[in-house]
Structure 1
Amino acid sequence: MGTTERLDDADRKILALLRRDGRRSYADIGREIGLSTPTVKRRVDHLESTGVIRGYAAVVDTARLGQGIEAITEIYCADRTTPSDVVANLAGIDEVVSAVTVSGEPDAVLRLQVDDVRHLERVIEDLRHRPDVVRTRTMIVLSVLVDRPTALGR
């Protein structure tokens, strides 16, 4: 594990603004929070170099791409399966858009994006044939009520 970064209010404000719009200019951010453009750039560079900001991404409407179904799949693995084993078992399954280990019964919970139910069935069958995967449990997402980046300082 890396070291924990201590953020001041200005860093928190910068992160909040970048979460809402990662393409926002340093000048615009600086105007909103009362810092100069070079100061904002220096702070963002520091947040990037320390790994607080891991990257930037486009938010894609997958339904417009024909990937109209999202599913949540719990995977249950053989004894002594490590998180790195789980990651290895997910290799090559592009439909997995997110995977987390959790407390409780499942070893991991996956978020899947697929075209249709048949596509989902093929992905689940693929998962079930992976080494270490003993069983799965899948739920189809009916609607997304909240989907936002994580917030700091809760």
Structure 2
Amino acid sequence: MRSRAPRVPYALRVDAIDERIMELLRADGRAAYGRLGEQVGLSASAVNRRVDRLVADGTIQGFSIRSGRPPGATQIQAYVEIFCSGSCSTTTLRETLEAIPEIRRAGTVSGDADAIALVVAPTIAQLESAIERIREAPDVDRTVSSIVLTDLFDR
């Protein structure tokens, strides 16, 4: 009976070509595999197989889009620091914040605040309403908001 070598997860075998493919996909998630193949020296089907393996083993965890603002559209963004009273359950806080559609992103943080959220709304009134809903959460003691004046870049 032949002994089999232990299977090494593909994520541990990512090579320079895989890294380059992922770099190109970060720049353009809709890039055609043929075009990617030209840039890395592989056929489209070889790129497809590599991307499929990277997805299957979790190295690539998903594809997403970011929508830009249409010309003339305004969106007000604020980073809101969230300070909880007592011990605040991460699960409860996540459920509360997920229920507020203006919150684009949130996470727990180190430092004085317990969490921070990126809140985006078309008007100051709607931004203020979203921040009020955060403040009304059971374990939230207070918030500190900083409105974004200029987007420098977004990766």
TM range (shorter): 0.7 to 0.9
CA distance in 2, matches of 1:86, 1:49: 31
How far is the alpha carbon of 1:62 from its aligned partner? 3.5
How far is the alpha carbon of 1:53 from its aligned partner? 2.1
1:89 corresponds to: 96
Is 2:149 the counterpart of 1:142?
A: yes
1:152 corresponds to: none
CA distance in 1, matches of 2:36, 2:123: 41
1:127 corresponds to: 134
* Alignment CA distance shift 1:52-1:40 (3 Å): same
Structure number with bigger Rg: 2
1:43 corresponds to: 50
Which blocks of at least 5 consecutive residues in structure 2 are unaligned?
Answer: 1-8
CA distance in 2, matches of 1:96, 1:4: 35
SS of corresponding position for 1:5: helix
| Deviation string, structure 1 residues 117-147 (Cα, Å, up to 9, x no partner) | 1111100111111121111111100011121
SS of corresponding position for 1:106: coil
1:60 corresponds to: 67
Indicate the percent of aligned positions where both proteins have the same amino acid.
Answer: 37
1:27 corresponds to: 34
Number of residues of Structure 1 aligned to a counterpart in Structure 2? 146
* Alignment CA distance shift 1:15-1:65 (3 Å): farther
How far is the alpha carbon of 1:58 from its aligned partner? 2.2
Q: Do 1:75 and 1:109's aligned partners in 2 also have CA atoms closer than 8 Å?
A: yes
| Deviation string, structure 1 residues 1-44 (Cα, Å, up to 9, x no partner) | xx993332111111110111111011111110112222211111
2:109 corresponds to: 102
Aligned Cα root-mean-square deviation (Å)? 2.0
* Alignment CA distance shift 1:131-1:65 (3 Å): farther
SS of corresponding position for 2:149: coil
Q: Do 1:67 and 1:113's aligned partners in 2 also have CA atoms closer than 8 Å?
A: no
The equivalent position to 1:5 in structure 2, one of 4, 11, 27, is: 11
